[in-house]
């Protein structure tokens, strides 16, 4: 059966200009990505490196894939399917249209950030996980009216690899794409 051609790549975010990505999500491209790299669409599996900060805690870093390395000393990426609800809404929406090799800053306000303790990405180490939960879900601060700001998160997202959704035509790549791109990671942000 023939499949519909892939949609054209979305326009890149203008450098230095934040874009409203939907309810509660604002994004700014810091690095445009590799020429010819795949861009992320809903249904695609993405491999990303994340650095997450809490806006309400003066940018306290609660997760940093660049600092959490595997046994080979490489950063440990997060893998999820866009649009499947596997991560907080801010990342689900904020990664759309990002090109492989690109880095985007995503600000997720409370409706698009953590709403319960089961939502990914969950910090891998216990102390950062506990500190995140005691800030975001602090009953005293919520009762004092601070709930609208507690769970605002700021993410630096580097898109390492896109695996196109099954059943597609493998689109989403510019005509000059090099299918043999290596998996080199960028420098930490």
Fold of 19-163: Chitinase A; domain 3 (3.10.50)
User: Among 8-12, 73-77, 111-115, 135-139, where is mean pLDDT lowest?
Assistant: 8-12
For residue range 73-87, list pLDDT tens digits in order: 999 999 999 999 999
**Which residue ranges make up each domain of the chain?**
19-163
Per-residue three-class SS string for the chain: CCCCCCCCCCCCCCCCCCEEEECCEEEEEEECCCCCCCECCCCCEEEEEEEEEEHHHCCEEEEECCCCECCCCCECCEEEECCCCCECHHHHHHCCCCECCCEEEEEECHHHCCCCCCCECCCCCHHHHHHHHHHHCCHHHHHHHHHHHHCCEEEEEEEEEEECCCCCCCCCCCCCCCCCCCCCCCCCC
Q: What is the pLDDT of residues 87-117, one digit of tens each?
A: 999 999 999 999 999 999 999 999 999 988 8
Query: Model-level pTM greater than 0.95?
Result: no
């Amino acid at each position: 059966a023939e499949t519909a051609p892939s949609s054209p790549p979305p326009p890149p975010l203008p450098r230095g200009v934040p874009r409203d990505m939907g309810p509660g999500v604002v994004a700014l491209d810091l690095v445009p990505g590799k020429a010819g790299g795949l861009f992320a669409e809903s249904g695609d599996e993405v491999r990303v490196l994340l650095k997450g900060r809490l806006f309400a805690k003066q940018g306290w870093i609660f997760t940093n894939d660049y600092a959490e390395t595997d046994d080979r000393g490489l950063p440990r990426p997060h893998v999820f399917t866009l649009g499947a609800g596997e991560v907080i809404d801010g990342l689900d929406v904020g990664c759309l249209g990002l090109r492989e090799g690109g880095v985007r800053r995503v600000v997720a306000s409370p409706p698009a950030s953590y709403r319960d303790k089961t939502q990914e990405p969950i910090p891998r180490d216990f102390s950062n996980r506990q500190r995140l939960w005691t800030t975001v879900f602090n009953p005293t601060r919520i009762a004092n009216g601070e709930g609208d700001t507690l769970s605002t998160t700021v993410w630096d997202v580097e898109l390492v690899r896109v695996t196109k959704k099954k059943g597609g035509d493998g689109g989403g790549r510019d005509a000059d794409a090099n299918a043999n791109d290596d998996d080199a990671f960028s420098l930490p942000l």
